């Protein structure tokens, strides 16, 4: 019986209720009960325990998981807490099942974001994303110099660290493409700001091998080939370090 016990956040993730990160927030907010008592961070549970979130029982999902690609418009916030933000991604997409975004795009950014109800894969993608590519098209407020391109690619000091070296390509006088292998908070905007450039528009066009091919505000299911390659990439990077 003992070997059936798993951490509560992992359990909620594996049954498809939410990601581990979201589960930790629910526990911290006192919204999770286990066998009639308030849940604690790090506690372990078994499939036989009665687990409530917001006084509603959670159960393992028996149907197949959903994997969606969305072209997020500007103004939509990547949060699952519908009580906090009106223009949130969950109400915007209005999907018939509980799903949640993998990672985030800030409110003023647009483009590709993935959503799922497979909590376990969320953790794997966020961990593996430390080494997987994400591509963006960015427009700034003044002409782009070669010095700007070189410095952006070489690493910028933000948030107490130096950004990892990345690929940067000039598209036109004020637009460039950048491919990141890390996901610091508002990373591109902070990098540009450090070099005295202001971002006017920012669109994510690719996550790993999955490319943006949708009109703004529309979503689709991942193809069988996309999902198969995704799972293969996650399998090969399963032991990737969390450190930058």
> Does 106 qualify as catalytic in the annotation?
yes
Residue pair 93/217 in contact by the 8 Å Cβ criterion: no
Q: Of residues 3, 49, 81, 106, which has the active-site annotation?
A: 106
Backbone angles phi, psi at 50, to 5 degrees: -90, 115
The C-alpha atoms of residue 88 and residue 81 are separated, in whole angstroms, by 8
For Cα atoms 99, 7, 96, give the angle at the middle one, nearest 5 degrees.
10
The C-alpha atoms of residue 153 and residue 166 are separated, in whole angstroms, by 5
The C-alpha atoms of residue 152 and residue 180 are separated, in whole angstroms, by 11
The C-alpha atoms of residue 109 and residue 204 are separated, in whole angstroms, by 8
Residues designated as active site: 106
């Amino acid at each position: 019986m003992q070997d059936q016990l798993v951490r509560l956040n992992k359990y909620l993730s594996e049954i498809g209720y939410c990601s581990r990160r979201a589960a930790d927030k629910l526990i911290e907010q006192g919204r999770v009960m286990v066998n009639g008592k308030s849940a604690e961070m790090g506690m372990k549970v078994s499939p036989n325990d009665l687990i409530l979130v917001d006084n509603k029982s959670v159960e393992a999902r028996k149907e197949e998981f959903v994997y969606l690609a969305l072209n997020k418009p500007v103004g939509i916030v990547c949060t699952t807490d519908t009580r906090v933000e009106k223009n949130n991604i969950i109400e915007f997409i209005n999907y018939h099942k509980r799903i949640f975004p993998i990672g985030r795009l800030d409110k003023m950014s647009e483009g590709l974001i993935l959503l799922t109800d497979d909590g376990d894969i969320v953790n794997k993608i966020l961990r593996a994303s430390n080494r997987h590519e994400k591509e963006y098209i960015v427009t700034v407020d003044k002409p782009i110099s070669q010095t700007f391109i070189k410095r952006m690619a070489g690493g910028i000091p933000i948030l107490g660290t130096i950004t990892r070296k990345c690929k940067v390509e000039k598209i036109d006088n004020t637009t460039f493409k950048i491919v990141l292998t890390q996901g610091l908070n508002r990373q591109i905007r902070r990098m540009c700001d450090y070099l005295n450039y202001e971002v006017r528009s920012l669109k994510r066009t690719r996550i790993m091998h999955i490319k943006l091919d949708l009109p703004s505000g529309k979503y689709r299911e991942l193809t069988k080939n996309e999902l198969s390659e995704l799972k293969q990439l996650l399998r090969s990077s399963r032991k990737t370090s969390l450190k930058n």
